[in-house]
Structure 1
């Protein structure tokens, strides 16, 4: 079977929607990574298995999966035929960080009405001029998601909540159990573009380098370098959807050069940056936010 990697991505002019991402993959598997937005996922063909907070999950027929921001996850096809999926990345204005914990507990939502509304939203987002319809449908989707996730009684597995998008994380109960890992995470977020060496990080948080790596990986389920690269790739996606050239994006998102961006971007997204940018075509208009 010939490997399939087909993608279409764009950023619509609808507040709250960071990105629309449609893809068909066969043999491709996502490594552990994080997003800074909510991932609202529907699998239209095939099935995906993924790990979230060290628990295995899947995408049964008819479900909608909601993966919270800042919580590492991966993904791989269940069969040789792969999977076809549609994803909406939603910012925290539509679903705030208090819902991260409940989403970790129950990421698969069996709700035909919700799935139908998400289908309708995808249709509206594909047609310029239907922004009012898309906003209306997104509002109803947000209301239904909050209903599913009530009550929000905890703040998630160490990766939520944050005071504001792009700011450092607020210490929560789980982070309090891993203060060293939390300090390194804050440092990585602060040095997202310029980076930091392991020796420098160890000196700043007063820990042995090996202990620091083990603490971070044990607390968050992802090694420090992988966390940093996935955050950089998230920034690169936003710039590419504005039509920026990959070489320029690499320089503005902390990568050594375009080749460095290509390697990590393809590993985490499934296709090269240029192909990802070109998939947006006329739909790459920036949001008015």
Structure 2
């Protein structure tokens, strides 16, 4: 489980290496260690809290319609269901370690503070995240990893709770209601006419409000949620064809198109690496 992959992952995108696995640690949904030079993430979402540590290079990304940067001296925290992209800030690329924390480990009320200022320039937090990653790649250290994860969550809660989020735009409540509707029907999906009838707003108004508030159109948000669900299913051991249906895609090729666009690899390769990482 320890270390970076240098094998078939490099076949996905030249010079790009990535490994994901699901550890046996409460609150941690997934761990990702990656080195990217060429792959750029399009706008996508996670159903988890994302805790990003950049070890080499620099990362640029857009969040809440603003250009951001993830410095190597700090920890970046992104809340669930908030669209963002990601790319190398220089031609040399970047190396990162990511913790995906279950959505319930932190109160949803802290999401606004994380969106307003996702960077935590606290050396103690960075050391805590790095120490947790070190424990996660050492066999037989589940108890240490669980303890470090609990302390990290407590520290993130304390720091985010001390920030006051900016006031929400006028259409934010409507956009949030549509987001909640989409989140509740990730697999089955929701038609725009059905959403319009349930929320009492015209389809065009819904699309505009959602795009302004969330940063991507409803259909793209739903596809991103399905990709996020599919990666969880693959890490849990499901075959790509099964994961495609369970995540709401028409078939495996449909999943593969969206999966490759977001993650730069195929569901099959991602699932195979996850199985090895969990061993």
- TM-score, normalised by the number of residues in structure 2: 0.87
Gaps of 5+ in 1: 157-172
Give the equivalent residue in structure 2 for 1:169.
Answer: none
What does 1:165-184 align with in structure 2 at a 5 Å threshold? 174=168, 177-184=171-178
Please tell me whether residue 264 in structure 1 is matched to residue 264 in structure 2: no
Distance 1:12 1:244 in 2: 16
- Pick closer, same or farther for the CA change 1:182–1:107 going to 2, 3 Å: closer
Deviates more, 1:89-98 or 1:60-69: 89-98
Distance 2:123 2:172 in 1: 39
Among 52, 55, 58, the alignment partner of 1:41 is 52
Give the equivalent residue in structure 2 for 1:86.
Answer: 97
Distance 1:191 1:281 in 2: 28
1:105-148, Cα deviation, whole Å (9 max, x unpaired): 22112222221221111111112321110011112212222232
SS at match of 1:256: coil
Is contact 1:44-1:85 (8 Å) kept? yes
Among 38, 49, 63, the alignment partner of 1:27 is 38
Please tell me whether residue 185 in structure 1 is matched to residue 183 in structure 2: no
Distance 2:176 2:105 in 1: 26
Give the equivalent residue in structure 2 for 1:255.
Answer: 249
Please tell me whether residue 111 in structure 1 is matched to residue 105 in structure 2: no
1:185-207, Cα deviation, whole Å (9 max, x unpaired): 23322321122333443444454
Distance 1:258 1:252 in 2: 11
Among 271, 277, 280, the alignment partner of 2:271 is 277
SS at match of 2:189: coil
SS at match of 2:229: helix
Give the equivalent residue in structure 1 for 2:64.
Answer: 53
Q: CA deviation at 1:251?
A: 0.8
SS at match of 1:276: helix
Give the equivalent residue in structure 2 for 1:213.
Answer: 207
Please tell me whether residue 127 in structure 1 is matched to residue 138 in structure 2: yes
Q: CA deviation at 1:70?
A: 1.8
Number of residue pairs matched?
A: 267
1:22-67, Cα deviation, whole Å (9 max, x unpaired): 1121121111122111100011121111111122211223111111
- Pick closer, same or farther for the CA change 1:110–1:261 going to 2, 3 Å: same
SS at match of 1:86: strand
Give the equivalent residue in structure 2 for 1:166.
Answer: none
Deviates more, 1:254-263 or 1:180-189: 180-189
Q: CA deviation at 1:16?
A: 0.3
Distance 1:19 1:61 in 2: 21
Distance 1:272 1:199 in 2: 33
Q: CA deviation at 1:179?
A: 4.4
Is contact 1:125-1:134 (8 Å) kept? yes
Distance 1:175 1:193 in 2: 29
Give the equivalent residue in structure 1 for 2:238.
Answer: 244
Aligned CA RMSD, in angstroms, stands at 2.1
Distance 2:148 2:172 in 1: 40
- TM-score, normalised by the number of residues in structure 1: 0.85
- Pick closer, same or farther for the CA change 1:122–1:197 going to 2, 3 Å: same
Q: CA deviation at 1:103?
A: 1.3
